[in-house]
Chain A
Amino acid sequence: MTTSNHQDGDVAGAAAPPRSSWPLFEVFLRSKRGLNHVHVGSLHAADAQMALHHARDLYTRRNEGVSIWVVKAADITASSPDEKDPFFAPSGDKVYRHPTFYEIPDSIPHI
């Protein structure tokens, strides 16, 4: 099993904890133009619009962002956590994908 929706993480048989009525949103910020959005945390909101406003108030009080994404935590599918997982194995043995795999004489310039 290499991927799992996090909701599968709810342990079968364990009593479900009480849930607040506002769903959880994960927040991603672009700190300035030219950079990717980066995950910064999560918050609860009634809907996506409210999540955006809350994200602005919570995560950009000091101009930390020029753009915000919010997405319901329940809508994210994630790979399993262990980095040794076979999910990532296909790239593990392909050293020829890296430039250092190739031996070029020192005398060759600009390569």
Chain B
Amino acid sequence: MAGPSIEADPSGADAAAPPQGELERHFEETIARDRRIEPRDWMPDAYRKTMIRQIAQHAHSEIIGMQPEGNWVTRAPSLRRKAILLAKVQDEAGHGLYLYSAAETLGADREDLTTRLITGAQKYSSIFNYPTLTFADVGVIGWLVDGAAICNQVPLCRSSYGPYARAMIRICKEESFHQRQGYELLLTMMAGTSAQREMVQDATNRWWWPSLMMFGPPDAQSPNTEQSMRWRIKRHTNDDLRQRFVDMTVPQAEALGVTLPDPQLRWNDARGHYDFGAVDWAEFKRVISGNGPCNAQRIAHRQAAHEGGAWVREAAAAHAAKRAARSSEAA
């Protein structure tokens, strides 16, 4: 039987705990002074719930995120690319596990989180519901999808929730490798044949808009943003981060020699930013609510892996129990 993480204290308070008002004031003060909330601190139920949801969705995204690229592991064009891709997919698994570990400090249960992912009770990033059609997709995912993830995640290293912030620091260090290997892969392909260059352009065309959707709905339609910013579990609005990503990415596209598929994309001297066209939010809603090209496949694959691994979990537990019994007999 697994207990909660040592850091977790779901009750949040001792018998001798001070009254709620004082606890709440202490919590607000800690946040106002930009200090971290730690697992066994008292926190409002809504904060705990929001954090569990945010961390779980993030963890699920990392776990599901192994699939689109995992699709190309056996078909990588060289041993070098294969080793890199394996390491990257393994990192995504690691990121998922760091995050599940952080969620467990809030009293969440691992088994329960997995069930919620498989049954669709909790969501994951809509981006992973798109297919990877060619090997150029591996490069573009590293460049754009991991690039957007870095934009989102760097500010989260200062999240008010300690274990999440610490996990994000670890993750951001590793994401940098992900983005660079992707861009390097694309540079290599762009220096290749015209067919390879077309593959890169095609993959860019398919991933650009979904990457912009990764930052979430526009600020006007993001009702939780205000509360999340007050709690310092979100540091910038969706639109701010999206703009930052566009500004970063345009020069990279130019250097690569690909065109971003947006005729309205141009530098705005007055704003000091690039203007860009409207994101198709109807598509975003369609995909996030389960009707993207690969939603069913992603969940079915995760479920099959979970069920297929059941005998391993059981066998390991039985082996551990037998060994424990043997060593207590010997003692």
- How many residues in B have their beta carbons less than 8 Å from beta carbons of A? 48
Provided the pairs A23-B1, A23-B3, A42-B101 are in contact, do residues A4 and B110 lie with their beta carbons within 8 angstroms? no
- The yes or no answer to A22 lying at the interface (CB within 8 A) is yes
- The yes or no answer to B54 lying at the interface (CB within 8 A) is no
List B contacts of A43 (CB < 8 A): 97, 101
Provided the pairs A4-B14, A50-B320 are in contact, do residues A41 and B167 lie with their beta carbons within 8 angstroms? yes
List A contacts of B163 (CB < 8 A): 41
Provided the pairs A18-B109, A47-B320, A82-B41 are in contact, do residues A42 and B9 lie with their beta carbons within 8 angstroms? no
Provided the pairs A6-B9, A78-B40 are in contact, do residues A44 and B324 lie with their beta carbons within 8 angstroms? no
- The yes or no answer to B38 lying at the interface (CB within 8 A) is yes
- The yes or no answer to A66 lying at the interface (CB within 8 A) is no
- The yes or no answer to A10 lying at the interface (CB within 8 A) is yes
Interface centre among B41, B109, B163 (most CB of A within 10 A): B109
Residue-wise interface mask of B (304-318) relative to A, using a CB-CB cutoff of 8 A (1 in contact, 0 not) = 000000000110110
Within 8 A of B (CB), among A17-72: 17-24, 26, 41-47, 50, 57-58, 61-62, 72
Q: Could you show 22 A-B contacts with beta carbons less than 8 Å apart? A: A1-B15, A4-B9, A6-B7, A11-B11, A18-B109, A18-B111, A19-B2, A20-B110, A21-B1, A42-B5, A42-B105, A46-B317, A47-B319, A47-B323, A58-B94, A58-B97, A58-B98, A73-B2, A73-B3, A80-B40, A81-B42, A82-B26
